[in-house]
Structure 1
Amino acid sequence: MTRTEFSVTVDLVLLTIRQAALQVMLVRRGIPPHQDRWALPGGFVLGDEDLGDAAARELREETGLDPRDGHFEQLATYGRPGRDPRGRVVTVAYLALLPDLPTPVAGSDAAGAAWRPVDEVRGELAFDHDQILADGVERARSKLEYTPLATAFCPPEFTVADLRAVYETVWRTRLDPRNFHRKVTSADGFVESAGGTVIRDRGRPAQLFRRGPATTLHPPLLREPSRPAE
């Protein structure tokens, strides 16, 4: 059996909600291969680095963001031969769910960095990053059913309507406001009162909440067939 030499990289699927759309952080590659094309942030793992440390370093270097700004988890590993023209490269992808943040700062090997709507970039990314992005979006959609991670897209204090907007944007569907409010407030430890209100639509006060202690939702908020979001 011939031993195959390979390199390891990390790629980052960074999702946020901006301008009522699910958006992904992308960098425009400043060097070959795929120079000038948009790609997920990432890079090679150094010899003395753990995978998680490499992902956190790449996040800071290429975007100016910090993994502590939101939820951060390992997504999947991709190792198809030929996925990188530089040689045999296996990448470990990480998923981050982040509140709306300022425009990022591109790193030294990137020509630019920007938040881009997920629906506008499918099919145009470098390497196999379209597949990695699709997997990251589906992971986020699934996790919103069984965990309170939708709150990672929200500020520390939010209304139920704010939270509903997250679900509608990520799931690309419309949800009944009363039914959603009932489900959110009845799920054990999902949200808890922040002790205040805020004036929203039509001048009506809305109660403010913050994330509760739950790590899983009981009962879960399952996706249901509904009217597609515009």
Structure 2
Amino acid sequence: MTDGWLSAQAWATVQASVPVMCVDILVCRPGRTDTVGLILRPTPHQGPRWALVGGRLLRDERLDAAVDRQWREAFGPSFVRGRDRAAAPLVVEYARTDHGPGPHDPRQHAISTTFLVDGHGEPHVHGTEALDFRWATLDDLRADPPGFGQLDVVERAAALLDAEAVR
């Protein structure tokens, strides 16, 4: 293992054996939550799909460092990461390996921590995983659900944000 990455054989064993810890990012415009930013990315089971920015944690990586790394890998310097709106994840969810209700990923049982993060500037994708970027409302996502079953995560986050706004 070098730089936090496992060999392909070791990674396959991990994926088949234990839950994998991941971070996802609910990208919003500063002070707004009526739209979220999604990247178009390849999925292992659905082809290219719109999805939250995110991925797995590396060994010894803190959650906030993983969020920062995933942001940089998706956007490079073109889209400035603003402050996280919460020091803790807004939603913690597991992804099943089957296609039951809720988040799913056929490669692995994953535990995902979703952080709400503001983006400043005009987003442009960067790197190999993010193919494109778009803003979407909850109604847009209900009409064309994001990959990995992430609609449930976005709906849970929206409900929590709505409840917080009422307080």
What is the TM-score with the length of structure 1 in the denominator? 0.53
* 1:76 aligned residue: 91
How many residue pairs align between the two structures? 142
* 2:61 aligned residue: 49
C-alpha distance in structure 1 between counterparts of 2:153 and 2:130, whole Å: 19
**C-alpha deviations, 1:80-100, integer Å up to 9, x for none?**
43221002222111122x376
**C-alpha deviations, 1:17-73, integer Å up to 9, x for none?**
8xx992111011135343311111101111120112111221222134444356244
* 1:138 aligned residue: 159
C-alpha distance in structure 2 between counterparts of 1:94 and 1:106, whole Å: 20
Answering whether residue 37 of structure 2 is matched by residue 16 of structure 1, we say no
SS at 1:36 equivalent: strand
Q: In structure 2, do the counterparts of structure 1 residues 105 and 81 end up closer, same or farther at CA, with 3 Å as the change threshold?
A: closer
* 1:62 aligned residue: 74
What is the TM-score with the length of structure 2 in the denominator? 0.71
Larger deviation, residues 105-114 vs 36-45 = 105-114
Q: 1:115 aligns with which of 124, 135, 139?
A: 135
Q: In structure 2, do the counterparts of structure 1 residues 99 and 84 end up closer, same or farther at CA, with 3 Å as the change threshold?
A: closer
Where does structure 1 lack aligned partners over 5 or more consecutive residues? 147-230
C-alpha distance in structure 2 between counterparts of 1:91 and 1:99, whole Å: 20
Q: In structure 2, do the counterparts of structure 1 residues 76 and 26 end up closer, same or farther at CA, with 3 Å as the change threshold?
A: same
Counterparts of 1:65-214 in structure 2 under 5 Å? 65-69=79-83, 71-73=85-87, 74-82=89-97, 83-96=104-117, 98=118, 101-122=121-142, 123-146=144-167
Q: Is the 8 A contact 2:20 2:109 kept in 1?
A: yes
Q: Which has the higher contact order (CA 8 A, sep 6+)?
A: 2
Between the aligned residues of both structures, percent identity stands at 24
Residue 124 of structure 1: CA displacement? 1.4
Q: In structure 2, do the counterparts of structure 1 residues 21 and 139 end up closer, same or farther at CA, with 3 Å as the change threshold?
A: closer
Residue 111 of structure 1: CA displacement? 1.3
Q: In structure 2, do the counterparts of structure 1 residues 139 and 56 end up closer, same or farther at CA, with 3 Å as the change threshold?
A: farther
Where does structure 2 lack aligned partners over 5 or more consecutive residues? 1-16, 98-103
Q: CA RMSD in A?
A: 2.8
C-alpha distance in structure 2 between counterparts of 1:144 and 1:21, whole Å: 11
Q: Is the 8 A contact 1:70 1:99 kept in 2?
A: no
C-alpha distance in structure 2 between counterparts of 1:81 and 1:22, whole Å: 28
Larger Rg computed on CA atoms: 1
